[in-house]
Chain A
Amino acid sequence: MGFALPLRLNGLRFAIGPVEIIRGITLELHEGAPSLLVGPNGAGKSVLLRLLHGLLQPSGGSLEWARPEARPPGLAPRDSMVFQRPVLLRRTVLANATYPLRLLGHSAAEARVRAEAALERVGLGRMLDRPARGLSGGEQQKLALARAWALAPEVLFLDEPTAALDPAASKAVEAIIAAIAEGGTKVVMTTHDLAQARRLAGEVLFLHHGRVVERAVAAEFFAGPRTEEAMAFLRGELFW
């Protein structure tokens, strides 16, 4: 990998009117193990993810990919995103998975092959013709992940993908995320679930009040956070 990465943020800001949500973040995201964005509600995690993915435009600072025009081989996109509540089209499971592939320019046959392979990997291989909106919450999130996985993006942004799922479905989704990361895709993910962050993270970026207050290798962060805010957050005593 390493086509367009690293992604460089320099004093990145985002405000809605007078309210500043992201207050000057400077960092670089490199290829490698998943980066987990953690922090209390309202810290700016989801907004930051949307800025990184280009769904929101910064109010200040800059966000630059090292090689903006570089793309992974084939028709793979630079980055893709899966949302907390997957937005599924009113179509079959297979049609949902082929949709973005067709948008990228894959032929119908190629899109089908890729989509079927991804759906097989997430355990939905026998549900190709089922209406996507009739799936359970866990299955819907698996479909959303398969849809993104089939694209083979260089970076995959995940916005609290297990927030609305029960423990069993969360575990299954975590396994898929781990497999995507092992496949070479850089995963950048937000979560409230600290146990999940321990399991998945290569590094942790702790956000508070729109700033990255602490960034550390996951094991170090959980063993001994350096900042007062992070310590309070891990003790469950930090509120927005």
Chain B
Amino acid sequence: MNDLSATLNATLGLLAGPDPTLAGIVGLSLQVSLTAVLLAALPGLPLGALLAVRRFPGRGAVVVATNAMMGLPPVVAGLVLYLLLSRSGPLGGLGLLFSPGAMVLAQAVLVAPILVALSRQALEALWEEYEEQLRSFGAGPGQAVRTLLWEGRYPLLTVLLAGFGRAAAEVGAVMIVGGNIEGYTRTMTTAIALETSKGDLPLALALGGVLLALVLLVNGLAQLLRGAAQRAER
């Protein structure tokens, strides 16, 4: 009980008081996760749409593979990326290891399968409705993909939020490739892991509360935007 009240007090204190260190961690967390989602969405959403509209040999295997990749263990992804980015690795020359860039890459790798799989599912239902009409108009696969991405903008927003949720909650991969360096690569989740390992559970839980508030805020803002856009279209 004491722990819980201490946690609540600490959470409120963190949320209320201007703390430059916390602000830096929150800022970096948001920056890394949002950039990762954007980076994953650029190929992920069109790929999901393409899978929704095209039938080709081996498509079933690709769908199963993308679905399976949604469960890719972050630690494994982080380890592979670490080997690739380490000085002796094939991408070592980029000098990205233990930088926010490496964390963005790691989160993008984890988020991309989610965006591909969920957007394929969402747009497949839409394609059933639109296919005959778009084929009748003579739309090719590229035009169909572009049209579906726009027509499916509301379900795709939910897909992006799911991706953001995965990115924001991720700890294993960013810890490995980011190194949890204070003031440089420390995010909310790596800070929570650090405080937990130090035994400062109330602070760890309080940071968790802040992270939850942050995710709620992003989702709330997205919902508001979606609602306003839908109302404008009625």
Across the interface, B138 reaches (CB within 8 A) one of A77, A90, A134, namely A77
Please, how many angstroms separate the alpha-carbon atoms of A103 and B133 in the complex?
A: 13
Q: Is the CB of A103 within 8 A of B132?
A: no
Please, how many angstroms separate the alpha-carbon atoms of A152 and B133 in the complex?
A: 17
B138 to chain A, nearest CB (A): 6
Q: Is the CB of B143 within 8 A of A103?
A: yes
Residue of B nearest to A104 (CB): B138
Q: Is the CB of A87 within 8 A of B234?
A: no
Q: Which of B113-140 contact A (CB under 8 A)?
A: 129-130, 132-133, 135-139
Across the interface, A87 reaches (CB within 8 A) one of B129, B138, B143, B233, namely B129
Q: Is the CB of A103 within 8 A of B233?
A: no
Residues 74-109 of chain A: 1 if any B CB is under 8 Å from the residue's CB, otherwise 0?
000100110100010110000000011001100000
Contacts of B67 in A (CB 8 A): none
Q: Is the CB of B136 within 8 A of A55?
A: yes
Q: Is the CB of B233 within 8 A of A90?
A: yes
User: How many chain B residues have a CB neighbour from A under 8 Å?
Assistant: 14
Q: Is the CB of B137 within 8 A of A103?
A: yes
Q: Is the CB of B136 within 8 A of A53?
A: yes
B126 to chain A, nearest CB (A): 10
| A72 contacts B by Cβ under 8 Å | no
B22 to chain A, nearest CB (A): 41
Q: Is the CB of A87 within 8 A of B139?
A: no
Q: Is the CB of B132 within 8 A of A55?
A: yes
Q: Is the CB of A103 within 8 A of B138?
A: yes
Please, how many angstroms separate the alpha-carbon atoms of A134 and B233 in the complex?
A: 8
| B147 contacts A by Cβ under 8 Å | yes
Residue of B nearest to A151 (CB): B137
Residues 46-60 of chain A: 1 if any B CB is under 8 Å from the residue's CB, otherwise 0?
000010010100000
| B151 contacts A by Cβ under 8 Å | yes
Please, how many angstroms separate the alpha-carbon atoms of A99 and B143 in the complex?
A: 11
Q: List 14 A-B contacts (CB under 8 A).
A: A50-B132, A53-B136, A55-B136, A77-B138, A81-B136, A87-B133, A99-B147, A100-B137, A100-B138, A103-B138, A103-B139, A104-B138, A131-B233, A131-B234
Q: Taking A55-B132, A89-B151 as given, write out 10 further A-B residue pairs in contact, using a Cβ cutoff of 8 Å, ordered by the A residue number.
A: A83-B133, A87-B132, A87-B133, A90-B151, A90-B233, A99-B137, A99-B147, A103-B137, A103-B139, A134-B234
